[in-house]
Chains A and B, each alone.
Chain A
Amino acid sequence: MKILLIEDDRENADYVANGLREEGHLVAQVASGAEGLICAMGNGFDLLIVDRMIPGLDGLNLVKSLRAAGNHTPVLFLTALGGVEDRVSGLNAGGDDYLIKPFAFSELVARVAALGRRPHATVAETRLHVLDLELDLLSRTVRRHGKLIELQPREFQLLEYLMRHAGQVVTRTMLLEHVWDIHFDPHTTSSRPT
């Protein structure tokens, strides 16, 4: 995957970029907002990883400008601004995911993978298939081998999320965020990728 990393902290940027390269991604690094915007507009990246507090144009406005210009490259905010309001404003600006520093690298890798495979929002899927499992989003039914499976609403949501990310690592926090709408990590068993 071709990833653009917009982050001004050199050390952290290198850490993230090298880690993602080890995962087999192509990573370009820029350190300022203006530069990032130009790069993001020009070269067909599959994903942008954006820090919110960067010199020049800040991350939030960068993404807003990008979206206003009709560019729909998925954006992952990677930021130290972890307040409730901050996350909401980030997602409202057009971000697709929001990861708060500090983070476990495995969490970042999983989210990057999830965003990269994400089907473009313009193509609305109504049926998901994994092997012989079939999930119909319109009638909200699940069949295996053509046999109907009864599911609770939450179970349906969970299955849908997993099927959309078939073959990928999905972390517990990702599930909590997308299925249960819980945006903090329950501490009893500290963040542990599933």
Chain B
Amino acid sequence: MFAALPRILRTSSFRLTLLCIGSFGASVLILFGVMYWAASVYMSNSLDAAVDSDITELADVLQVGGDAALEALVKERVRQTPHGPMFYLLQDAKGDVVAGNLLPVRGGEGRFELKVRNSDAPHVTAHAHSIALPDGGYLTVAVDSFPRNKMRKLILWVFGCSAATSLLLAFGGGALMSVNLLRRIETISRAARDIMAGDFSRRIPNRGTGDEFDHLVASLNAMLARNEVAIESVRQVSNDIAHDLRTPLTRLRQRLELAQRQARSVEGWRRAAQGCISDMDAILETFGGLLRIAQIESGVPTRRFTKVDLSELLRTVIEVYQPMAEEKEQRLTADIASGLIVWGDRELLTQMVANVIENAMKHSPSGASIGLATSTSPTMIAVAVSDSGPGIPAEERVHVFRRFYRLERSRSTPGSGLGLSLVEAIAALHLAGIELTDNGPGLCVTLRFHAPDQPPPARYCLAKSQQEARPLPASSSQCRPDTTEGERSGPV
């Protein structure tokens, strides 16, 4: 605690506390000052009034009965109250005391304070008023100013006590607040250091009180989760590159070595070069695919999302692929409803649909027919691409979205094994669901989109691992069921 004290004193909250104490204290001081002054004035005035009324009375007696009557009255009064609260003094023109219980004064006319000897206390302060008499003498009347002094003392005492208590409380509270604040900041910075040290799954603990710190921590944790996904995606790509680009690169190298050893003619070299170029193209294609998936999974900016005319998009893709299907002697048919609108990135959606169609075409034999059909429900738009190819066995469907996963029998067909991974990445970005079902025979791939009047996907929608970190709103959860895992794949 003591070691931390200097740091506490440096915290912004403590400084803020000091500032509050300063300004609050100043205003209280002014308030008390005014109060003190006003009370003093009020009390002085009432003392004045008491003295003045007595003087008036005595002056009246003087006027009516003359000096003798005044002297008699003063003596009578002194006899009645020798110890106050009223004190009297009658002096003649020479200043000698004629009557009274006050020491002689030489102040002339006016108001003044004086000390009175008293039997109880050595001195009592009194508030006096002297007036000159017609014969040149002076009449002085004084009143014990004890009530005023007592009130002044009381005010000072109350002020002192309450100021000390408030100061103590404020300092204590400030220190406590700072300690608390420091502790929470320390938790956050400790988590930050852990993360910097490489523990990307580390999160800042939340106290669950719902205060502004919890709010900040929740935001930071969401950011960390998002970063983790991005980092994980990059790591995944480097792993994939290591595993799956090394093989074709090795093959390329072998081909070149072989050519160097064996090629004897220009024609041989040309053939070798041709082979190398097509190897290289395949490698570049894989490389491009990996980069694209990584880019999408690490969170393509969803600010590019707009309302996309899905019907028009599907027709365009069909238009582009129809000639290619004809080349492969396949039939590509489409049944597309008009006016389908989804929320997303046009280019990525085009790529997704194209990949699904390409996948169907690639794995279907000549003469097969491939169909694309749309269907709608109030909340969802479904696009189903079905083929009459060999299909995918139910137990394999779990794996087809994995990068480089290729069914045993498709090893010989060209392709990078990334097509469906890309489809999944794009679907996840759009919070669309993918379903693989048996088309008996063949495969049916269904993409399910939100209708655009549904709330648009969360701004930071990300690929799968992110969704564990931040649960989606209930309305979207129906769109990302386990179907990507191939478990709800309908009749097999």
Q: Is the CB of B285 within 8 A of A187?
A: yes
Instruction: With CB as the reference atom, state the residue of chain A lying closest to B348.
Output: A84
Q: What is the minimal beta-carbon distance from B306 to any residue of chain A, in angstroms? A: 13
Q: Is the CB of B361 within 8 A of A188?
A: yes
Compute how far the CA of A182 lies from the CA of B361 in the bound complex, rounded to whole angstroms.
19
Residues on the B chain within 8 Å of A181, using CB: 316, 346
Residues on the B chain within 8 Å of A176, using CB: 320
Residues on the A chain within 8 Å of B346, using CB: 181
A24 within 8 Å of B by Cβ?
Answer: no
Q: Digit string of B349-392 for contact with A (CB within 8 Å is 1, else 0)? A: 01100100010011000000000000000000000000000000
Q: Is the CB of A184 within 8 A of B324?
A: no
B481 within 8 Å of A by Cβ?
Answer: no
Q: Known contacts being A188-B328, A190-B281, is A183 close to B321, with CB within 8 Å?
A: no
Q: Is the CB of A184 within 8 A of B358?
A: no
Q: What is the minimal beta-carbon distance from A71 to any residue of chain B, in angstroms? A: 30
B300 within 8 Å of A by Cβ?
Answer: yes
Q: Is the CB of B358 within 8 A of A182?
A: no
A154 within 8 Å of B by Cβ?
Answer: yes
Q: Known contacts being A82-B288, A84-B345, is A188 close to B316, with CB within 8 Å?
A: no
Residue in A85, A176, A180, A187 whose Cβ sees the most chain B Cβ within 10 Å: A187
Q: Is the CB of A189 within 8 A of B301?
A: no
Q: Is the CB of A187 within 8 A of B358?
A: yes
Instruction: With CB as the reference atom, state the residue of chain B lying closest to A100.
Output: B288
Contact of B319 among A154, A184, A188, A190 (CB under 8 A): A154
Q: Is the CB of B321 within 8 A of A182?
A: no
A70 within 8 Å of B by Cβ?
Answer: no
Q: Is the CB of A182 within 8 A of B316?
A: yes
Residue in A84, A85, A189, A190 whose Cβ sees the most chain B Cβ within 10 Å: A84
Interface band, chain A: 10 to 19
Residues on the B chain within 8 Å of A154, using CB: 319
Q: What is the minimal beta-carbon distance from A158 to any residue of chain B, in angstroms? A: 10
Residue in A154, A181, A182, A189 whose Cβ sees the most chain B Cβ within 10 Å: A182
A146 within 8 Å of B by Cβ?
Answer: no
Q: What is the minimal beta-carbon distance from A12 to any residue of chain B, in angstroms? A: 15
Q: Digit string of A150-183 for contact with B (CB within 8 Å is 1, else 0)? A: 0000100000000000000000000010001111
A119 within 8 Å of B by Cβ?
Answer: no
Compute how far the CA of A186 lies from the CA of B291 in the bound complex, rounded to whole angstroms.
17
Q: Is the CB of B324 within 8 A of A188?
A: yes
Residues on the A chain within 8 Å of B354, using CB: 182, 184, 186
Q: What is the minimal beta-carbon distance from A107 to any residue of chain B, in angstroms? A: 13
Instruction: List B residues 316-333 near A (Cβ within 8 Å).
Output: 316-317, 319-321, 324, 327-328
Compute how far the CA of A184 lies from the CA of B317 in the bound complex, rounded to whole angstroms.
12
Compute how far the CA of A187 lies from the CA of B321 in the bound complex, rounded to whole angstroms.
10
Q: Digit string of B276-291 for contact with A (CB within 8 Å is 1, else 0)? A: 0000010011001001
Residues on the A chain within 8 Å of B317, using CB: 182
Instruction: With CB as the reference atom, state the residue of chain A lying closest to B288.
Output: A82
Q: Is the CB of A186 within 8 A of B316?
A: no
Q: Is the CB of A82 within 8 A of B291?
A: yes
Residues on the A chain within 8 Å of B248, using CB: none
A42 within 8 Å of B by Cβ?
Answer: no
Q: What is the minimal beta-carbon distance from B485 to any residue of chain A, in angstroms? A: 26
Residues on the B chain within 8 Å of A187, using CB: 285, 358, 415
Residues on the A chain within 8 Å of B358, using CB: 186-188
Residues on the A chain within 8 Å of B304, using CB: 84-85
B11 within 8 Å of A by Cβ?
Answer: no
Instruction: With CB as the reference atom, state the residue of chain A lying closest to B278.
Output: A190
User: Which 5 A/B pairs are nearest by Cβ-Cβ distance?
Assistant: A188-B324, A180-B316, A84-B347, A102-B284, A184-B351
Please give the residue numbers on chain A whose beta carbons come within 8 Å of chain B beta carbons, in ascending order.
Answer: 82-85, 102, 154, 176, 180-184, 186-190
